[in-house]
Amino acid sequence: MMSRIISIANFKGGVGKTTTAINLAAGLVKRKQKVLLIDLDPQANLTQSQGLIDGIEASVYTVLRKEALGEKARLLDAKVQVRQLDFIPSTLELANAELELASVYGREQILAQLLKAVTMYDFVLIDCPPSIGLLTINALVASQYVLIPLQAEFLPLEGVRSFLKHFESIKKLNQNLELLGLILTKYDARKNMNRNVKARLEREFPNGQVFKSLIRTNIALAKAQEAGTDIFNFNRRSHGALDYDELTKEFLMKIKTKNKR
Ligand SMILES: Nc1ncnc2c1ncn2[C@@H]1O[C@H](COP(=O)(O)OP(=O)(O)OP(=O)(O)O)[C@@H](O)[C@H]1O
Ligand SMILES: [Mg+2]
């Protein structure tokens, strides 16, 4: 069986990529899915929000580097187990990768190569950095689907359009890549702006690409991240837990209908 590989990406910072990565992964594990979560961001926020950071020897950086140098590299050598989740941590050193890998032959496909051997998961989720560098390109080239979290505070359409332009270029390297959906985060229905952005997105993407599940603004999500855990473990009755549980259900439904086609 092939693992389904999903990138969580947006070139804009602070839109809830990492929060979605950790809590969707936890939601899937709760529903008995086998999940590998990869931190591909040199900021290593996801690694920190898993309560890790000190004493990491193997990371996504060490493995990418080995693979790029033509040495025998296995992604799962960097795996750590966090609760019931398999996790590949990042370190600040990953910032070097953008430069170090730039001159490597097949530099856009290094992660895809490594993931070929990773077949035992239902889902592999990749948390991307907020930029269109070599790391995000590697993630998108390795993926079947992309999820785009967006904040409804600002008019995010420009950002999404620019993303989709790059998306079309990346499809030349990976024809299988599909937009799975746009996820509205930090949502507050009392704010006109939020409701307007939602309506506009739904008009712009009329084929159900906008997830119906909204992630409301909820301080427990930020606190869980600070406490080094997911929202279900932190406070399973919070809005954040309810919203990410709904999102997980909708995500699984979407994947199911995609498979039928
Ligand atoms: N729904 C939410 N309600 C309240 N706070 C949230 C919510 N989602 C995310 N946050 C908080 O907002 C901040 C940014 O979120 P997050 O780190 O997930 O964004 P990101 O897109 O991964 O950022 P970056 O681009 O820097 O990687 C974090 O402090 C996070 O805890
Ligand atoms: Mg992040």
Residue-wise pLDDT tens digits, 62-85: 999 999 888 989 999 999 998 889
| Residues by chain with Cβ below 5 Å of ion ligand 2 | 17-18, 45
Q: What is the pLDDT of residue 179?
A: 94
Residue located nearest, by CA, to atom 16 of ligand 1 = 16
pLDDT at 155 over 70: no
- Is the beta carbon of 42 within 6 A of some atom in ligand 1? no
Sign of dihedral through CA atoms 11, 228, 82, 80?
A: positive
Average pLDDT, the chain: 92
> 88 with 99: CB under 8 angstroms?
no
Ligand 2 centroid to Cα of residue 16, in Å, is 7
pLDDT at 261 over 70: no
Ligand 2 centroid to Cα of residue 229, in Å, is 15
Taken in order of first residue, the domains within the chain and their CATH numbers are 4-260 (3.40.50.300)
How many other CB atoms sit within 10 Å of the CB of residue 83?
14
Distance CA 169, CA 191 (A): 35
Q: What is the pLDDT of residue 141?
A: 97
pLDDT at 156 over 70: no
Ligand 2 centroid to Cα of residue 18, in Å, is 4
Q: Is 142 left (phi over 0), alpha (psi -120 to 50) or beta?
A: alpha
Residue 16 CA: which ligand is closest?
Answer: 1
pLDDT at 36 over 90: yes
Tokens 């953008």, residue?
98
Please, which pLDDT band fits residue 204 given cuts at 50, 70 and 90?
confident
Ligand 1 centroid to Cα of residue 142, in Å, is 24
Q: Quick one: average pLDDT of 103-119?
A: 93
Q: What is the pLDDT of residue 248?
A: 98
pLDDT at 260 over 70: no
Written as six digits, the tokens of 148 are: 């785009």
The preferred substitution site among 18, 90, 182, 184 for testing ligand 1, maximizing ligand atoms within 8 Å of CB, is 18
pLDDT at 54 over 80: no
Q: Quick one: average pLDDT of 191-214?
A: 89
